[in-house]
C-alpha cells in the first residue's frame, strides 16, 4: 500500500523494486537523508528554544508570573534534553550507515526491515527482539 504512507521529514517512503537487495546504496542513501533531515529539524528547534529563552527571560515582579515562566522554561529544557539525546542516537545511526552496519538487528543479526526503519529510522532491533526486550524490561519493573 505505497499510497497510504506519509513522507518522513518531507522524504517519500522508499519503494523497493522487486528482487532488490536489502540495504543497497539507494536504501542507505534514503535513510541517511531521513536521518540528516530529522537531525537538522531537531537542531533548529534547539536553536529556537535558546533564542526564545534569551528573548523572553525578563524578570517578573509577580511571583506567579515568575513561577509560570520558570515552569515553561523547565518543560522546554526537558524537551530539548530528550531531543539532544535523540540527536546523539541519530549520529550513532549515521555512523552505522557509514560502517555498512545499518538495517540489521543488534541482537540476532537479521534484517530489521524497511517498513520498521521507515517508522523508526534509528531502530537497531528487529520487531521480535524489540518485543522480547520490552517484555524483559516490564518483568524487571514488576
- DSSP β-bridge partners for residue 8: 11
What is the residue-level pLDDT of the chain in tens, covering all 142 positions? Answer: 344 555 666 788 899 999 999 999 999 999 999 999 999 999 998 888 777 676 666 676 777 877 887 788 788 888 888 999 999 999 999 999 999 999 999 999 999 999 999 999 999 999 999 999 999 999 987 6
Q: Give the containing element (helix H, strand E) for 132.
A: helix 127-141
Q: What is the DSSP string of 53-85?
A: HHHH-PPPSSHHHHHHHHHHHHHHHHHHHHHHH
CB-CB contact of 90 with 37 (8 Å): no
Q: What is the pTM of this model?
A: 0.79
Could you give the CA distance from residue 69 to residue 63 in angstroms, rounded to a whole number? 10
Grid cell in block for residue 4: 497510504
* Domain parsing of the chain, residue ranges: 21-102, 105-142
Q: What is the DSSP string of 13-39?
A: PP-PPTTPPTT-HHHHHHHHHHHHHHH
Out of 2.40.50.140, 1.10.1740.10, 2.60.40.10, 1.20.120.910, the CATH code matching 21-102 is 1.20.120.910
Amino acid at each position: 500500500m505505497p499510497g497510504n504512507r506519509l513522507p518522513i521529514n518531507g522524504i517519500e517512503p522508499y519503494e523497493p523494486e522487486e528482487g532488490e537487495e536489502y540495504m543497497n546504496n539507494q536504501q542507505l542513501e534514503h535513510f541517511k537523508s531521513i536521518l540528516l533531515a530529522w537531525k537538522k529539524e531537531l537542531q533548529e528547534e534547539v536553536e529556537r528554544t535558546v533564542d526564545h529563552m534569551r528573548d523572553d527571560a525578563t524578570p517578573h515582579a509577580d511571583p506567579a508570573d515568575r513561577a509560570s515562566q520558570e515552569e515553561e522554561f523547565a518543560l522546554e529544557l526537558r524537551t530539548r534534553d530528550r531531543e539532544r539525546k535523540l540527536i546523539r542516537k541519530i549520529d550513532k545511526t549515521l555512523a552505522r550507515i557509514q560502517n555498512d552496519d545499518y538495517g540489521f538487528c543488534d541482537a540476532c543479526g537479521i534484517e530489521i526491515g524497511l517498513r520498521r526503519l521507515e517508522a523508526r529510522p534509528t531502530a537497531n532491533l528487529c520487531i521480535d527482539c524489540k518485543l522480547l526486550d520490552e517484555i524483559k524490561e516490564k518483568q524487571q519493573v514488576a
